Structure 1
Amino acid sequence: MTGVQRAAIVLLSLGEQQAAEVLKHMGAREVQKLGVAMTTLGEVGRDAVARVFDEFIEVLARPGGIGSGADDYVRAVLTQALGEERASSLIDRILAGRNTTGLDTLKWMDPRAIAELVRNEHPQIIAIVMAHLDGDQAAEVLKCLPERARVDVLLRLATLDGIPPHALNELNDVMARQFAGSQSIKSSSVGGVKVAANILNFMDSGQDEALLGAIGEVDSELGTRIRDLMFVFDNLADLDDRAVQAVLREISSEQLALALRGADARVREKITGNMSQRAAEILLEDMEARGPVRLAEVEAAQKDILGVVRRMADNGDIQIAAKAEVLI
């Protein structure tokens, strides 16, 4: 079981009131992941539940308690897992940016509501706000903004290297006052090319290319850098075999057959090469037997599979190619 699944079992065993008290202390993304895990867990045997609680109790019983030296622990774990360069920006956002209460409140809001809230703000302010959102949520916000504003915001976000702490403090205070409460912060590391690429990864097919084309007209080098960091369906061919096999266990054969209709030959070979001969034959037969399908259906299936890949990368279940570091 994954850590999220084990946590879901613990919460389901606590009872509604106690589980609700625990969830109050978690962020929006954590609550979302746990909610999905709890609703998709299925039936879990008594022995499995007992093992999960045995592990839980064992962790709680370790000397030193929880929270003592937690910052150093998180830094060490992430650096070992992702490497120093890839982990540094993530560590900064976790450890230094955790008190951005006003901005973090936005993570609980509907993307349309966020877009409405920042619609009349300066594009630089919108870029800073979007830099604090998760990639999929920021992409939905971008879709809701006026088309003329999208390129400007994304350009500013991609070139956003950092802002003075006092300026970020003021923005956070403004947001916090609107949602009852304010708190100062120390972090100023936000935005950048990777964040822009991550947001574009979640945009609908066609919208991402339109935005990239517009950015390329303004700054061709920046457009190329963003494109190089994006992870698209064809990049599945760059995953190692173990990662491909893990992804295949998470998607349906029907979904795969539809997605591969518009895939590069390298991707097809990578996928079928990590299946049994019989399973590969059945997949190819399904693809041939299926009649004409709309391009939109193929793109939707590919986007769903990419969503699975991103989720697994975020959970640490797989590591994706260097070009997709933005997703880790």
Structure 2
Amino acid sequence: MSETTIDLTGSQKAAAFMLAVGENYGQAIWEALSDDEIKELSQHMSNLGSVNAEDVENIFVEFASKVSTVGSLNGSYESTERLLRKMLPADRVGTIMDEIRGPAGRTMWDKLGNVNEVVLASYLKNEYPQTVAVVLQKIKAEHAARVLSVLPEDFSMEVIMRMLRMEAVQKDILDKVEQTLRIEFMNNLARTSRRDSHETIAEIFNFLDRSSEARFLSALEDRNRDSAEKIRALMFTFEDLANLDPQGVQTLLRNVDKDKLALGMKGASDTLRDLFFSNMSERAAKILREDMEAMGPVRLRDVDEAQMEMVSKAKDLAESGEILLSDNKGEDELVY
């Protein structure tokens, strides 16, 4: 038995075996496996890479099968998916392959959809307008709009004109653009623009209800106090709205649903309540207080949802430049 075969794990040997037996002889085995077993085996098939003919033969011998060499084979996402689709329902194959590939997306264009618009625009502004036009037609319109708004204005207009004149893109051109993006951009993205994981978790925690947030942070403090403190410092919470200037408070008040405002204020601190009331007319403040009293007891979950909606609206206003957000947890202001 060759050294390569000895180095393969049992799961890798099973993956090579299933690739080798193919559709006809393998179907009965696939049908007998559970979803979890299929996912695990498919994962190993996708990552297997090249296995030479001698090792394939040795694997068959090891499985006590009297089979001669079947030639070399290559395990990849494509070959694995192709084989599974011949034996399993399409929706089941799609779910399995999506889990194997992970959340980054099934295609290059899906992956680009997860790239921050500023990072993507910084790369695209150095490309030919025609290339950028192809890319913006392939990604989601919402994401394309954000990228377009970040690009230099003259360049953006040139891209728009190319998009207006563009006909169906030939497959070889599309493949070339995709290959260029993969080699020159996606492969370097992790090294050049990797987002700090604490920022990502802080943003996720911002959307947790109060009890879940406290539970996760408390559990994280037990395991890694430094990370918990970093995440806490990066989070922008409802109470951080107390750091808005008077003009910011008034702008937010004009853009928040009155029912949500009353519900959110029910769970606010006295400091935050006073700030909001002081930036309202006497009549509007009186009406808001009456609305809050008329509500009576309310569920904490409903209060949390209303407060998260107000924070989300504040971030939208900050992004459009109408207000400035600061978390007051450091000397520098945080603009979202």
TM (norm. structure 2) is 0.44
Give the structure with higher Rg (CA). 2
| Structure possessing the higher relative contact order (Cα contacts under 8 Å, 6 or more residues apart) | 1
